[in-house]
Structure 1
Amino acid sequence: MIKKLLFTFLLFISFLGFSQNSSLSNQAKVSILTCGTGPESYAMYGHTGIRIQDTASGIDVVYNYGAFDFSTPNFIGRFVKGDLQYFVTNGSYIDFYYNYQAENREIIEQELAISSAQINQLFQQLNASVYSEERFYTYKFIDRNCTTMVVDKINTTLGKEYLKSRTTNQSYREVLYPYMSDFYLKLGIQFIFGAKVDEPVTRLFLPYEFKKSLSQTKIQGKPICTSTETVLKASNSSIPFAFWNSIYSLITVLVILALFGKKGVQIGYFTVTGLLGVFFMVVGLYSMHEELLWNYNALLFNPLLIGYAWCLWKENTKAAKLLAKIIAGCLAIYIVYMLDKIHLQIVWPFIVLHLYWLGKEVLKKN
């Protein structure tokens, strides 16, 4: 969903001389471009662009939301906090096409059935965004990204919220889950996400969900989408199965820890997992990303595990058993809460290991 800095910079300067006061002819067309996913994190969910084409005026431009500047001071800190400024760029369609061709990512184009006046209105609004301070916006993973910004622009042009989520009985987490093909990246994202992503989907925020909504939306009984065409086909590049990038490698490592993990291994493991719990809690309080708030995975990677590891190291069996009981109780709550969550299928190995080690401590005779 995020364009590479170099590409977006080139797009920006390539169309810098374009006048926002230009008007389009009656032949002008507007279409939504849905771009395929890629292996990189920024391309994991695809991308959405707006194409304005007017052969009479020699205009063929694509507008993109979701660009950012790596040179921003304290880039990582601002990204984590959630106040990093993103911006909109524009550039020629042919450059846009060749970029995605080089990345082997498909482009699907859907032409919109809106009036010439509405196309001109949208065109002026987009140019106003590009050539003013309005081009900057604070990125939010669900509420403000390359797709939601386009959805809002189209709905504003239509004068009504025609384009909206049609997903029912699914959470944001469930909608996002299939897009994550890299196992350990998927695992990390599931752990960092908090309770917000378990809420029912109410927002069009993913490119392919937006594409689907466009194909189903009608205005006064007529489809808003007049045509759908795959203008760039990507070659099949299926990722072969890799044991080391699967749940099987995780299970293998955790089984080895369970079978051969002496006290020193447990101390190290529980110290690290406890620190992860602290991280989840601190980031949730620090960050403005609502997706990170109320991270119940801290019940699995419980900060109390640091104290438990300390007691193991100091051989304080009484305190260790008490903490083990408390942490096991928290883990029981976590398990109940997780029963209807889709990511239970990949986090369960950690649950089993924790139950095994903590259970041994609780049942140990003094």
Structure 2
Amino acid sequence: MTKKLFLLILFIGTSISFSQSLSLSEKAKVSILTCGLGPESYAMYGHTGIRIQDNVKGIDVVYNYGAFDFSTPNFIGKFIKGDLQYFVTYGSFIDFYYNYQSENREIIEQEIALSPKQINTLFQQLNHSVFSEDRYYTYKFIDRNCTTMVVDKINGILGSEYIKSDTLNQSYREILYPYMTDFYMKLGIQLIFGAKVDEPASRLFLPYEFKDAISVTKVNGNTIEKSNRKILEVNKQELPFNWLNSIYSLIALLLLLVLLNKKLIKISYFVFAGLLGLFFSLVGLYSLHEEILWNYNILLFNPLLLVFAWYLKKGIKERIVLLGKIILAMLLIYLAYMTTKVHLEIVWPFIALHFYWIAKIVLQIKKSNLAR
């Protein structure tokens, strides 16, 4: 055994022993840290942390759920499938603060009204999670993330589900929608989401929604929030409007395809749309993420478009007309269903293109048959 390895084992063992035996003083405080949004996909909704502060014992640490290891073998495959292991970490508050300062992301702190006994219990539970197999958990976008794990911890200490969602009049999709400022990322995420995200948002799963819920939560008639302050303020520069990263560039691209009016372009597009629908179908069967199951967007990006493109290439008119009518009927069902969905405003250019092209192809064939 090398000296470095021996010291590492000694350090870990000391840390476990220290964390399990240490009790906090009567002056200890617990607060929830809500961190601002970041440009990366994993940071676009913000972050939630738990801060334990005890000036008497010289303790000021932050516990974080939602950490993951990029070096995990088959990282992308595990992430898509939904069995990637996330874990809880902890570190000094000052390191946590400087990290978010360097990323230009705000931190809002809300002190929670817990008794010294409750704070000690929470402290011991968090340390147990860090230094045991409990530190690992299977990430779920809505049900098990950095926020839901903290919600469950705090409610567990309170003894009941006091902190809960009050947004049942909104779906998960409607809550998520405003967070996605990058147009093409928003489009991709909205298309891959299935029916689960259209359910009423009964779960507190986003940091800022959790923050707002804490502010209005009462336990035995008393407000649970002792204080609410922004401990890290940042200056967010307002990004100029980017035409290329907007719905206007999508409309322009689709209009260009229509104006070119080439058979090869139509066939290529239908192949692309059909493959996208096939991907939605297969990934729903493969993945354990419930959020991408029952994806009704395959009525728009229909795998049948692959067959339609093949008949169009071969010029088999009877099959083109038959399949075209079936796809158009499915498009009508999709459009009727989408009238109540928030993402209709970004997918309508595809709906319009599909209706225009397929209906035009079918009508042209029927006219040519009547002219004979």
Q: Secondary structure of the equivalent of 2:37?
A: coil
Q: Counterparts of 1:185 and 1:261 in 2: how far apart (Å)?
A: 28
Q: Secondary structure of the equivalent of 2:48?
A: strand
Q: How does 1:1-366 map to 2 (within 5 A)?
A: 19-364=19-364, 365=367, 366=369
Q: Which runs of 5+ in 1 are unaligned?
A: 1-11
Q: Counterparts of 1:263 and 1:294 in 2: how far apart (Å)?
A: 32
Q: Counterparts of 1:64 and 1:113 in 2: how far apart (Å)?
A: 20
Structure 1 residue 20: Cα displacement: 2.8
Find the structure with the greater CA-based Rg: 2
Q: Deviations over 1:283-330 (max 9, x none)?
A: 111110000000000000000000010011111111111111110011
Q: Counterparts of 1:237 and 1:21 in 2: how far apart (Å)?
A: 47
Q: Deviations over 1:165-214 (max 9, x none)?
A: 01131000000000000000000000000000000000000000000000
Q: Secondary structure of the equivalent of 1:69?
A: coil
Q: Secondary structure of the equivalent of 1:49?
A: strand
Q: Counterparts of 1:310 and 1:105 in 2: how far apart (Å)?
A: 50
Structure 1 residue 16: Cα displacement: 5.3
Corresponding residue number in structure 2 for 1:7 = none
Q: Counterparts of 1:285 and 1:191 in 2: how far apart (Å)?
A: 16
Structure 1 residue 63: Cα displacement: 0.2
Question: Which amino acid counterpart does residue 75 of structure 1 have in structure 2?
Answer: F
Q: Counterparts of 1:228 and 1:240 in 2: how far apart (Å)?
A: 32
Structure 1 residue 236: Cα displacement: 2.2
Q: Counterparts of 1:286 and 1:229 in 2: how far apart (Å)?
A: 44
Q: Which runs of 5+ in 2 are unaligned?
A: 1-10
Q: Deviations over 1:219-251 (max 9, x none)?
A: 111110010010000112222100000000000
Please tell me the root mean square deviation across aligned C-alpha atoms, in Å. 1.3
Q: Deviations over 1:346-365 (max 9, x none)?
A: 00000000000011022112
Structure 1 residue 77: Cα displacement: 0.7
Q: Counterparts of 1:153 and 1:288 in 2: how far apart (Å)?
A: 24
Q: Counterparts of 2:105 and 2:20 in 1: how far apart (Å)?
A: 30
Q: Counterparts of 1:312 and 1:355 in 2: how far apart (Å)?
A: 16
Q: Secondary structure of the equivalent of 1:170?
A: strand
* TM-score computed with the length of structure 2 as normaliser: 0.94
Question: Which amino acid counterpart does residue 45 of structure 1 have in structure 2?
Answer: Y
* TM-score computed with the length of structure 1 as normaliser: 0.95
Q: Deviations over 1:128-184 (max 9, x none)?
A: 000000000000000000000000000000111101001131000000000000000
Q: Counterparts of 2:51 and 2:114 in 1: how far apart (Å)?
A: 14
Contact 2:270/2:309, CA 8 A, preserved across alignment: yes
**Count of residues in Structure 1 that have an aligned counterpart in Structure 2:** 354
Q: Secondary structure of the equivalent of 1:31?
A: strand
For structure 1, which segment, 335-344 or 254-263, has the greater mean C-alpha deviation from structure 2 after superposition? 254-263
Corresponding residue number in structure 2 for 1:9 = none
Q: Deviations over 1:33-53 (max 9, x none)?
A: 000001111110000000000
Q: Deviations over 1:235-280 (max 9, x none)?
A: 1222210000000000000011112131100000000100000000
Q: Deviations over 1:86-113 (max 9, x none)?
A: 0000000000000000000000000001
Q: Secondary structure of the equivalent of 2:168?
A: coil
User: Percent same amino acid at aligned positions?
Assistant: 69
